[in-house]
Amino acid sequence: MTDEKDLNLKEPEEANELESLFLDDFSYETILTNKFRNRKSYVADDPKKITAFIPGKIKKIHVKKKSKVKEGELLLVLEAMKMNNQIFSPAKGTVKEVYVTVGMSVSKGALLIEFK
């Protein structure tokens, strides 16, 4: 027979504070933690802003401000972990601004190019 002390059970952060969740036409009673309550809300990516998906160095830029691009056109090359990652245009549009230069190091999430 195991004792509760042996299981190392953690007490919930909000003791006995039940919340109702509705998923797929079912209601569930659960205890929500502070970590869950304070989580960042999901924010969808802006399709007009191209950001770095990985930290790296800009190797080559194929567009400039006011360039008209087609969907799938090569925008720039980002070197990361000794690999050249080609960044393509997700849609047809006009380049509003290019925020990077060749040789520049960028962090993950850095804004690279913005469309009008």
Answer yes or no: do 20 and 73 share one domain.
no
Answer yes or no: do 77 and 107 share one domain.
yes
User: Is 2 a member of any domain?
Assistant: no
Answer yes or no: do 74 and 107 share one domain.
yes
- Whole-prediction pTM: 0.65
Alpha carbon distance 100, 111 (integer Å): 8
User: Is 3 a member of any domain?
Assistant: no
Answer yes or no: do 31 and 53 share one domain.
no
Model confidence over 68-101: pLDDT tens digits? Answer: 999 999 999 999 999 999 999 999 999 999 999 9
* Per-residue confidence (pLDDT) for residue 16, from 0 to 100: 57
Answer yes or no: do 89 and 69 share one domain.
yes
CATH of the domain at 63: 2.40.50.100
Alpha carbon distance 62, 64 (integer Å): 7
On whether the CB atoms of residues 76 and 19 are closer than 8 A, the answer is no
